[in-house]
Amino acid sequence: MTEPTIHFLKPRNVLVFVATVGLFIGLATGNAALLSLAAMAITALIVGFIEARQMLEHVEVRRTHLPRAFQGSSVGVELTLSTSSDRTPELIMVEDEFPPGTPSRFRHLLDRPLHRDRPMQISYLGRCDHRRGLYLLGPTRLQGADAFGLFPNELLVPSITELVVYPTTIDLREMGLLGDGVQNHVGLEMSSRVGQGEEFIGVREYRPGDAQRLIHWRSTARHGRPMVKEFQEEVTTLVSIFLDMGRLGLTGVGDQTSFEYGVRVAASIARRGTNLGHRLEFFGVGQKVEHLPPGQGELHLLTLLDRLAFLKAEGESGFAAVFRDLSAVLPRGGTTVAIMSATTVSFDELSATVDSLLARRILPIFVLIDDRGFIKLFAEQEMAHVKARSLDETARLLRVMGARVHLIRRGKDPEAAIAAALDVSTEVRAR
């Protein structure tokens, strides 16, 4: 290991040496030339020190960027520098903190002086490499010096802005969210049926209870009996997503944890449901239940992503019991998606729940994450893993109950592993 080099011949050190030696020898000998040289050196040091102290103290920094971004995406950040002083600082090094990215610091040297009436904009592109959550961007560090470079100066500008990083969502173009028997059609993501929609499909005979505004007078006159108009109604189904947030289901460290896989699955399925026009409802089951009521559209999806960005796995969830109680009040004809670790499946409690869902023509989907593939964090997890059935056996038993099952194993690329497990339109179910 090499020792750091100490530079004694820096301009400031040379001036201090000249000022000191010239002053003492000049005073001792009465040499006016040496005293003048010392005075000039001292003046240069004082002027440089004052200039260095004042050149950055009036500089302000304003940061602008989008408030939301997805994990793995890039964010454009713009810094606007301005000064309220008549001085024109030059050669300022700007260093900004971007915690969600690697590297987390961005540096830029200003290529021209900063004038009072001409703010300067610099921009950079930061990639959100780290996990979901709330990040504080900043502060901004300014580094400069006087005109002679004698006194380096640094200013920390507390310009802090917030950036919420959403979990990654995978575009599941082939994943079906409806099963056979849902509403009136098999395998259709949006069921069409005769009702009170906007698309006219024909006429039929009048039935008691039909509204008079639906009478088709021209057909009535032609057939000699009352005829009414029929319209096609689009039925939007409800997709209810349940995520187990109990700590026993949390294995792994950093960005590679079973819970992070679960959050990405929930986000991806929500995106898929939104693209298909479904209504979405979310239940995060942990120490308490995090509930997002049913809604539809892009705004509702963004609201859910905001929730998912801050979720943590902690405490005891009692997932099976909560899933049973909450799914019992869901409307007929929808879909439930239960996202959980494979070793926390409780067959005794889930069997009755699945039967109840199927009886109400609700498709149960289980997304099982193989938590054995991650580092265990708690002593209880070792016992749970020993007692639990194998991943394939767990999936087989759930399919026998009548559920659709997707298995997710840890991979070097989490997005690819999730897509491979979920992006299928149909799956054979054992009876």
Domain boundaries, the chain: 11-54, 59-166, 191-235, 238-422
Output the CATH code of domain 238-422: 3.40.50.410
Greater pLDDT, 267 or 150: 267
Task: Give the model's pLDDT for residue 74.
Answer: 95
Q: How many CA atoms lie within 13 A of 366 on its CB side?
A: 33
pLDDT tens, position by position, 208-237: 877 778 888 888 888 888 888 886 555 558
pTM: 0.75
The rounded distance, in Å, linking the Cα atoms of 186 and 321 is 30
Strands of 238-244's sheet in order across: 289-295, 279-285, 238-244, 335-341, 363-369, 404-408
Least confident of 47-51, 57-61, 231-235, 275-279: 231-235
Residue type, 284: G
Classify the C-alpha dihedral 148-149-155-159 as positive or negative.
positive
Q: Residues of the chain with pLDDT > 90: what percent?
A: 41
Q: Which residue, 241, 246, 228, is CA-closest to 272? A: 241
Question: What's the burial of 425, exposed, middle or buried (CB within 10 Å: 0-12/13-18/19+)?
Answer: exposed
Average per-residue pLDDT in the chain? 83
Q: Is the peptide bond before 103 cis (omega within 30 degrees of 0)?
A: yes
- Among 245, 258, 294, CA closest to 408: 258
Most confident of 8-22, 186-200, 229-243, 362-376: 362-376
Interior/surface letters 104-138, b for 16+ CB within 10 angstroms, e for the rest:
eebeeebeeebeeeeebebebebbbbbbbbebebb
Lowest mean pLDDT among 78-87, 333-342, 421-430: 421-430
Residue linked to tokens 């750091």? 4
Topology adopted by domain 59-166: Immunoglobulin-like (2.60.40)
In this prediction, residue 354 carries a pLDDT of 94
CA angle 140, 141, 147 (to 5 degrees): 135
% of residues, the chain, pLDDT over 70? 86
Mean pLDDT of 124-143: 94
pLDDT of residue 75 exceeding 80, the answer is yes
pLDDT above 50 for 193: no
Report pLDDT for 235.
53
